[in-house]
Amino acid sequence: YKRITVKSLTEMKSQGEKIAMLTAYDYTTAKILDRAGIDVILVGDSASNVMAGHETTLPITLDQMIYHASSVIRAIKRSLVVVDLPFGTYQSDPKEALRSAIRIMKESGGHALKLEGGKEIKESIKRILHAGIPVMGHLGLTPQSIYKFGTYTVRAKEEAEAQKLKEDALLLEKLGCFAVVLEKVPSKLAKEVAESLTIPVIGIGAGNGVDGQVLVMHDMLGMSKEFSPRFLRRYLDLHTLMTGAFEQYITDVKAVDFPSEDEQY
């Protein structure tokens, strides 16, 4: 297994090879993803929604992120594992940001961190980078700021916000971030940003003019029926498949069809 590093991603961009990234929060799915050849696994704070059932990403804690990330790391032979710094662990002051970053790196064994925001968190990003920890940026729809936005609709449609996003993207590259996620922004803007940077831009709902794509694994597997944004392609209808399997199991147990003679000692 040749390990993917933050450097491999820049090389992929310069060679025109798109980067494939998906989320994972546990050992078993991370192992499948890694062996399937995924480039980057994101231990996203979307675990707050997907794993814990919270309405937003805000409640998940540093300890919970470390639990998810360490579970993922135990499965990995090849993929680069990026871990989200959760809300409240890096915004208040750069020293706290660095402490949070160091805790994730030491206690989970993750390879890199992702932080939401641009100029506002510049000092935190700098400190973390100075400690030798690779940082991935995240601009556009940044779910930790959902109460500021009020909705999960497309960001940066207006010129002022688009301009700030472009400036933030350039700043993140200048600071030394190794990649940037752009979430739910117009594809034309995302393409422009990707073309203006040498570091890879990884999109989610940001069109195909960027350097790679990320989706939440549970969404692309079709595990939930409700969440259905335009950018989501479902590769399986796992909700239906799982429901069918569970119903069959229940039927079999009730009918004393399971376990059969062959399935007992």
Q: How far is the CB of 263 from ligand KIV (least distance, A)?
A: 39
Q: Which is nearer to ligand KIV, 175 or 232 (CB)?
A: 232
C-alpha–C-alpha distance, residues 188 and 2, integer Å: 34
User: What token pair was written down for 90?
Assistant: 């890096």
Is 183 among the residues known to form the active site?
A: yes
Interaction site with ligand KIV (CB under 6 A): 23, 42, 44-46, 84, 181, 183, 204, 214, 216
Query: Shortest CA distance to 12 belongs to which of 213, 214, 212?
Result: 212
Q: In degrees rounded to 5, what are phi and psi of residue 200?
A: -70, 145
211 binds Na ion (CB under 5 A): no
Please name the residue ranges forming H helices in 56-201.
Answer: 62-73, 94-108, 122-130, 146-149, 159-175, 187-196
55 marked as part of a ligand binding site: no
137 binds Na ion (CB under 5 A): no
26 marked as part of a ligand binding site: no
Query: Shortest CA distance to 123 belongs to which of 147, 148, 101?
Result: 101
C-alpha–C-alpha distance, residues 196 and 194, integer Å: 5
Q: Which does 204 bind (CB under 5 to 8 A by kind): ligand KIV, Na ion, none?
A: ligand KIV
Q: Which is nearer to ligand KIV, 23 or 124 (CB)?
A: 23
User: What token pair was written down for 50?
Assistant: 């997907």
Q: Which is nearer to ligand KIV, 12 or 21 (CB)?
A: 21
Among 24, 41, 43, 44, which residue sits at the site for Na ion (rule: CB under 5 A)?
44
Q: In degrees rounded to 5, what are phi and psi of residue 100?
A: -65, -45
Residue list 75-94, contact with Na ion (CB under 5 A)? 84
- For residue 227, how far is the Cα from the chain centroid? 17
Catalytic residue, chosen from 17, 173, 183, 261, is 183
Applying CB under 5 A, which part among 11-19, 45-53, 170-178, 189-197 lies near Na ion? 45-53
Annotated binding site for 3-methyl-2-oxobutanoate: 45-46, 84, 114
Task: Tell me which residues are annotated as active site.
Answer: 183
